[in-house]
Amino acid sequence: MADSSVLDNPALSSLTGPHAHFALGQAPVLRYPADVSPFVAMPSDPDAAAWRALADLLGPGELAAVPGLVESPPPDWVEAMRLPGVQMVDEGMDAVPDDEAVRLGVADVPEMLALVERTRPGPFLPRTVELGTYLGIRRDGELVAMAGERMHLPGFTEVSAVCTDARYRGQGLGARLVRAVAVGIRARGEVPILHAAATNVGAIRLYESLGFVVRRTIDFVGVQAPAG
């Protein structure tokens, strides 16, 4: 059974684990490349030295997102955003393949970025597709729904970028894709997890109906490094 303690600091567990090949910096202060993900990893209780290391890693005035940051950043930093969320873990989802789902890759990135722009599921950048498997559903050749894998922790993989074009909502496409993505995660012997904004009660209710349970609350905090 996977050690659930790795979920306490998901970005650090990912960047020192299965996603170590993406990591920039020196543990425990790490980041994804800026065109892959805005997430950075910090110790759970970062001290002044950790914040200095992050400032050096980011560069003057650069923005980053710290999942699970509890305390406010130092006075010379700007807390640009604090999004309360929930962390959910699969405890019995019916993971099944979907005949209509297609694997998305680099050639599909322009369409994926356009869908994200229309639906706003959260950060998705030009190289985010490299983080794991992304599946999509097309209608008349147009990409109208997708979901995929983001942070990859020892024993766990995060399902993310779950989104559906407004014209096709209410058809269960998002739920189908979450189940289909979970097939690949389960095949590796891992457990699907996901994060959702605490205010997005509709999405949380949907994920609970699929078999996810809320493990804990977690803030996603946007920070801006000192200008110099």
Ramachandran area for residue 13 (φ above 0: left; ψ -120 to 50: alpha; else beta): alpha
Using the structure block, give the residue that is written with the tokens 């700007």: 78
What's the pLDDT score for residue 183? 98
Amino acid present at 155: G
Asked whether residue 31 falls in the same domain as residue 16, the answer is yes
The whole-number pLDDT of residue 228 equals 73
Same-domain pairing of 173 and 205: yes
Instruction: Please give the order of strands across the beta sheet that includes 212-224.
Output: 63-67, 212-224, 78-90, 191-197, 156-164, 142-153, 134-139, 102-104
Closest of 47, 43, 38, 44 to residue 74, by C-alpha:
47
Return the pLDDT at 2.
80
Could you say which DSSP state residue 176 is in? H
Give the global pTM. 0.96
Query: Range of 140's domain?
Result: 88-217
Range 206-223 average pLDDT: 97
Same domain, 150 and 108: yes
- Is there a single domain that holds both residue 25 and residue 66? yes
CATH code, 37 = 3.40.630.30
Euclidean distance between CA atoms 30 and 35, whole angstroms: 15
Count of domains for the chain:
2
Q: Are residues 30 and 96 in the same domain?
A: no
CB 57 within 8 A of CB 25: yes
